Amino acid sequence: MNTALNKTAVFICHCSGNISDHIDINFLKKTLKAEGISVLDYEYLCSSEGQALIKNKISEGNLNRIVIGSCTPSKHGTLFKKCIQEAGLNGAMLEIANLREHCSWVHPDKAEATEKALSLLRGKLRRLENSQPLGEIKVDITPKALVIGGGIAGITAAVNLADNGISTYLVEKESSIGGNMAKIGKVFSPDKLAEECAMCSLSPLMNEVVANPKITLFTWTEVESLSGSAGNFTVRLRKKPRYVHDNCTGCGRCSRACPVMVENEFNCGSVDKKAISLSFSQAVPKTYCIDPDKCLQINGETCGKCADVCKSGAIDFSQKEEIVELNVGAVIVATGFKEYDATQKPQYGYGIFKNVITQMELARMLGINGPTKGALIRPSDLRTASDIIRSSTDTFESDSSSEDSSDHSDDTGTPKRIVMIQCVGSRDEKEGGNRYCSRYCCMAALKHSSLIKRKYPGAEVTICYVDLRALGFYENYYRAVQDMGVRFVRGRPAEIVEKPDKSLVVRIEDTLNQKIKELSADLVVLSVAMIPSQGTRKIAGVLNLSQDESGFIKERHSKLKPVDSSLDGIFVCGTAQSPKDITDTIAQAGLASIRGRAFITDSPKALANEIPTFNPLLCTKCEECFKCPFNAISLNESDRIVVDPLVCIGCGYCTELCQNGAIQIASFTKTQLKAEIEGELKEGDLLGFVNSGIASLTCDNIGSSVLTYPSNVKLIKVPTSLVLDKDLLLHAFKHGASSILFLEDPPDSPKAEVIYPLTVSHFEKLKKEMGDLGNRLYFKKAYVPNTKGLAGAFTSLAREGEMIG
Amino acid sequence: MKTIGDIPDRQLLLFKSCMVGQEYPGVETSTRYAFDRLGVDYIINDEQSCCTGIGHYTDIFEGLTTTAIAARNFAVARRCGHPNITCLCSTCYAINKEACEVLNTDNEIREKVNSIFREQGLEDLVYEKDDMNSKANFYHAVEILLSKASQIQAKKKFDFSGVKAAAHHACHYYKVKYLDVLGNPENPQLIDTIAIACGADMVRWYEDRTLTCGMGFAQLHLNKKTSLQVTKTKLDSLQKAGVELMIHMCPNCHIQYDRYQPVIEREFGAKYDTVHMNIAQFVALSMGADPYKVCGFQTHSVPLEGFLEKHGII
Domains parsed from chain B with CATH numbers: 4-140 (1.20.1050.140), 157-310 (3.40.50.11810)
In a domain, A781, yes or no: no
How many Å lie between the alpha carbon of A346 and the closest alpha carbon of chain B?
7
More confident of the two residues A8 and A800: A8
Judging contacts by C-beta atoms under 8 Å, the chain B residues touching residue A431 are 1, 179, 181, 183-185
How far apart are alpha carbons A167 and A181 in whole angstroms? Answer: 25
Of A247, A102, A182, A167, residue with least CA distance to A717: A102
Burial of residue B100 (CB within 10 Å: 0-12, 13-18, 19+) is: buried
Q: Which pLDDT score is estimated for A802?
A: 66
Q: Does residue B72 sit in helix, strand or coil? A: helix
Q: How far apart are CA A213 and CA A265, in angstroms?
A: 31
Contact B187 A429 (CB under 8 A): no
Give yes or no for a contact between A121 and A69, defined as CB atoms under 8 angstroms apart.
Answer: yes
pLDDT of residue A804: 54
Residue A436 shares a structural domain with residue A520: yes
Q: How far is the C-alpha of B64 from the C-alpha of B86, rounded, in Å? A: 22
| B183 with A352: Cβ contact below 8 A | no
- pTM for the full predicted model: 0.80
pLDDT of res. A411: 52
A496 in the same domain as A366? yes
A358 conformational bin, left if phi > 0, alpha if psi -120 to 50, beta if neither: beta
CB A575 within 8 A of CB A530: yes
Q: Which of A554, A583, A601 is the last residue of a domain?
A: A601
Question: Does one domain contain both A179 and A277?
Answer: no
Residues A521 and A556 in one domain: no
Count of CB atoms situated within 10 Å of the CB of A545: 20
Residue A768 lies in a domain: no
| Residue A383 pLDDT level (bands cut at 50, 70, 90) | low
Asked whether residue A555 falls in the same domain as residue A615, the answer is no
Which whole-number Å values give the CA distances from A784 to A692, A695, A781, in the listed order? 13, 7, 10
DSSP state of A29: H
Residue A397 pLDDT more than 70? no
Q: Are residues A489 and A346 in the same domain?
A: yes
Q: Let me know whether A435 and A353 are in one domain.
A: yes
Q: Are residues A83 and A102 in the same domain?
A: yes
How many residues comprise chain A?
A: 805
Q: What is the CATH number of the domain that holds A25?
A: 3.40.50
- The reported pLDDT for the residue numbered A246 is 92
Task: Report helix, strand or coil for A409.
Answer: coil
* Total count of domains within chain A: 5
Separation in Å, CA of B229 to nearest CA in chain A? 17
Q: Is the pLDDT reported for residue A220 higher than 80?
A: yes
Question: Does the CA dihedral A181-A185-A190-A192 come out positive or negative?
Answer: positive
Q: Give CA–CA dist A578/A334, Å, rounded.
A: 11
Model pLDDT for residues A414-472, shown as the tens digit of each residue:
899 999 999 999 999 888 899 999 999 999 999 999 999 999 999 999 999 999 999 99
Give me the sheet containing A356-358, strands edge to edge: A356-358, A523-528, A417-424, A460-465, A487-490
Pair A523, A557 in one domain: no
- Cα A774 to Cα B274: distance, rounded to the nearest angstrom: 71
Which residues, 6 or more positions from B16, have their beta carbon under 8 angstroms from its beta carbon?
B28, B44, B48, B88
- Specify whether A377 is located in the same domain as A494: yes
The b/e string for B85-95 (b: 16+ C-beta within 10 A; e otherwise) is bbbbbbbbbbb
Q: Is the dihedral of CA B87, B89, B95, B97 positive or negative?
A: positive
Let me know whether A186 and A270 are in one domain.
Answer: no
In a domain, A450, yes or no: yes
Write the ipTM. Answer: 0.82
**Percent of chain A predicted with pLDDT > 90:** 80
Mind telling me how many Å the CA of B175 is from chain A's nearest CA? Answer: 11
CB contact under 8 A, B184 and A431: yes
Domain range spanning residue A179? 144-239+330-335+534-601
Chain A interface test: which of B1, B180, B187, B204 (most A C-beta within 10 Å): B187
Residue type at A421 in one-letter notation: I
Is residue A343 within 8 Å of A160, Cβ to Cβ? no
Chosen from A345, A352, A430 to mutate, greatest number of chain B CBs within 10 A: A430
Cα(A564)–Cα(A751) distance, integer angstroms: 13
Band the pLDDT of A137: cuts 50, 70, 90: confident
Q: Chain B residues with CB inside 8 Å of A549's CB? A: none
> Measuring CA to CA, which residue among A258, A334, A250 is closest to residue A295?
A258
Nearest chain B Cα to A497, which residue? B207
Could you give the C-alpha distances from A179 to A190, A202, A213, A358, A580, in angstroms and in order? 21, 10, 22, 17, 15
Residue A140 carries which DSSP code? P
CATH code for the domain in which residue A514 is found: 3.50.50.60
| SS3 label, residue A274 | strand
Residue A434 within a domain: yes
Q: CA dist B141 to A614, B131, B191, Å?
A: 60, 22, 11
Please list, in sequence order, all residues whose beta carbon lies within 8 angstroms of the beta carbon of residue A62, skipping any fewer than 6 positions away. A7
Name the nearest CA neighbour of A173 among A120, A116, A117, A240. A240
φ, ψ at A531 (rounded to 5°): -125, 160
| Cα–chain center distance at A528 | 24
What distance in Å separates the CA atoms of residue B48 and residue B172, rounded to the nearest whole number? 21
pLDDT, mean of residues A249-259: 95
Average the pLDDT over A622-639 and give the result: 92
Q: pLDDT tens digits for chain B (314 residues)?
A: 788 999 999 999 999 999 999 999 999 999 999 999 999 999 999 999 999 999 999 889 999 999 999 999 999 999 999 999 999 999 999 999 999 999 999 999 999 999 999 999 999 999 999 999 999 999 999 999 999 999 999 999 999 999 999 999 999 999 998 989 998 898 899 999 999 999 999 999 999 998 999 999 989 999 999 999 999 999 999 999 999 999 999 999 999 999 999 999 999 999 999 999 999 999 999 999 999 999 999 999 999 999 999 999 98
- Inter-chain CB proximity A430 and B183 less than 8 Å: no
CB contact under 8 A, B210 and A494: yes
What is the rounded average pLDDT of the residues A25-35? 95
Residue A4's pLDDT is 52
Confidence bin at A269 (pLDDT 50/70/90):
confident
- Flag whether A246 is in a domain: no
Distance from the B300 Cα atom to the nearest Cα atom in chain A, whole angstroms = 31
- Does residue A426 lie within any of the structural domains? yes
3-state secondary structure of A148: strand
Which of A67, A99, A134 is at the close of a domain? A134
Quick one: pLDDT at residue B254? 97
Element (H, E) at A614: strand A612-614
Q: Find the helix or strand (DSSP H, E) in which A743 lies.
A: strand A737-744
Closest Cβ opposite residue B183 in set A347, A431, A497: A431
By DSSP bridging, strand B12-15 and strand B42-43 are parallel
| Residues paired with A188 in a beta bridge | A195
* A700 lies in some domain: no
Last residue of a domain, one of A134, A157, A172: A134
- Which residue in B184, B205, B208 is closest to A344 by CB distance? B184
* A81 touches A134 (CB < 8 A): no
**Contact status, residue A555 vs residue A563, Cβ threshold 8 Å:** yes
Most confident of the following: A3-17, A690-704, B19-33: B19-33
Residue B128 DSSP code: P
Flag whether A582 is in a domain: yes
Partners of A429 on chain B (C-beta within 8 Å) are: 179
Distance CA A784, CA B98 (A): 40
Please report the pLDDT score of residue A189 as a whole number. 80
Clarify whether residues A212 and A304 are in a common domain.
Answer: no
Q: What is the pLDDT of residues A188-205, one digit of tens each?
A: 887 777 788 899 999 999
> What pLDDT score was predicted for residue A389?
47
What's residue A3's pLDDT? 52
Contact A505, A421 (CB under 8 A): no
Q: Which CATH number belongs to the domain containing residue A643 in this structure?
A: 3.30.70
Task: Give the CA radius of gyration of chain A.
Answer: 34
Closest Cα in chain B, distance from residue A491 (Å): 16
Q: Within an 8 Å CB–CB cutoff, is residue A431 touching chain B?
A: yes
| Of the candidate ranges A343-352, A524-533, A742-751, B32-41, the one whose mean pLDDT is the lowest | A742-751
Contact predicate A337/A184, CB 8 Å: no
**Direct distance between the N- and C-terminal alpha carbons of chain B, in angstroms, rounded to an integer:** 41
Pick the range with the lowest mean pLDDT from A154-168, A177-191, A283-297.
A177-191
Hey, what amino acid is at B64?
Answer: L
Q: Are A174 and A150 a contacting pair, CB within 8 Å?
A: yes
